Structures are given as structure tokens and as C-alpha cells.
Amino acid sequence: MKSGLEMVIDVAKLLDVPELTGGTIQEGFYFLEGYSSQDYALGATTSVTEGKINGRIWQHQRPANSDTVDIVVNSLALTNQQLQQGVVNVNIHVPNQVNVIGGKQDSTMPDLAKMLEIGKIVTGILETNWQYDFHTEIYQPGQPYQDGAGWYLNIRVMYYSFQNNYQNI
């Protein structure tokens, strides 16, 4: 049986890819900073990519003073049936656009283009993603919400995990 904490960890790990967080790509594989050169195959083509987020992937909550592009993964519910079903929120926090209107600066409008760009990558990763012990499906593909003075894009994800730890079967 998995807990809501494990469900969030599973989904957060799926999102830790170079397209979002940056890293080194090698023939379909990526290696984050801190790996030794022995981890690369000889003669393989590598390239460093800049991720779409300049912040981090956070579990459950974003730091209050963050002014970077962050992704927050949190859970709503997870059943305790043989086929566990849960709902995960993936919230993409993007700083507001800075506009000049009538000679005055305004930073109250969401950066919808950046939200859409990152949202497409996230939904592409999580839509019908089958792993060894769980899979994910997009439940709601993205809705912008205001959060105080900022905005975020909420993507709801269905999470399924088969329990194989029953002792009385």
C-alpha cells in the first residue's frame, strides 16, 4: 500500500526531466549535475539543456518568498483498495508579466504563454504514463488560478497503484 506521500514522490520524480529542470542529455538519457564522467558512454553525443523552470519541483508546498518558476506536486486523496486510486495536483507557479499601461508598470497579469508552454510538457509526461508499480493519467489538463498576487496553472492527475502487499490473500 502506498501513502499520499509516496504518490507525490512518484509524480515529482516523473517531472524531473531535462526539458523542465535542465541537465545533460545523452542518447535519450539524462544525468543531473554531480554525476561523474564515467556515467557517460564513450563516443555518445551529449548536450546541456536549460530547463523551462528556473526554480524547483517542490513536494506539497512552495516556499512563501519564491519568485521563480516552480512546480508544486501535492495530493488530494488516495484510496486503500486493491487498486489504489488517487488525485494529484501539479501546480505550475509562474511570475506575473510586467506590463506598462498608460506609463505605469503593472505586474498583476499572469504569464499565460509560459504557463501553457510548461503545461504542455507536464501533460505530455503524465498523460498515460505507465511505470512498474503505478501509472498516471491527466484528469484536468490545466486551469489557471490566482494565488494572492501571483498565478499558477493547476493540472489534476489521476494516479493508480496496484497493492500487492495483502497478507491475508
Q: What is the CATH number of the domain that holds 62?
A: 3.30.2000.10
Q: Are 74 and 91 in contact (CB under 8 A)?
A: yes
Cell of 64: 512563501
Instruction: Specify the 3-state DSSP secondary structure of 26.
Output: strand
Per-residue pLDDT tens for 40-99?
A: 333 344 445 578 899 999 999 999 989 999 999 999 989 998 899 999 999 999 999 999
pLDDT of residue 43: 38
Q: Which residue has the higher pLDDT, 30 or 23?
A: 23
Domain-embedded: residue 10:
yes
Domains in the chain: how many in total?
1
Domain-embedded: residue 169:
no
CB count, 10 Å around CB of 167? 4
Q: Are 1 and 164 in contact (CB under 8 A)?
A: no
Q: Are 55 and 72 in contact (CB under 8 A)?
A: no
Domain-embedded: residue 168:
no
Q: Residue 37 carries which DSSP code?
A: G
Per-residue pLDDT tens for 122-146?
A: 999 999 899 999 999 999 999 999 9
Q: Which residue has the higher pLDDT, 95 or 38?
A: 95
Domain-embedded: residue 167:
no
Domain-embedded: residue 92:
yes
Query: Does residue 35 register a pLDDT over 50?
Result: no
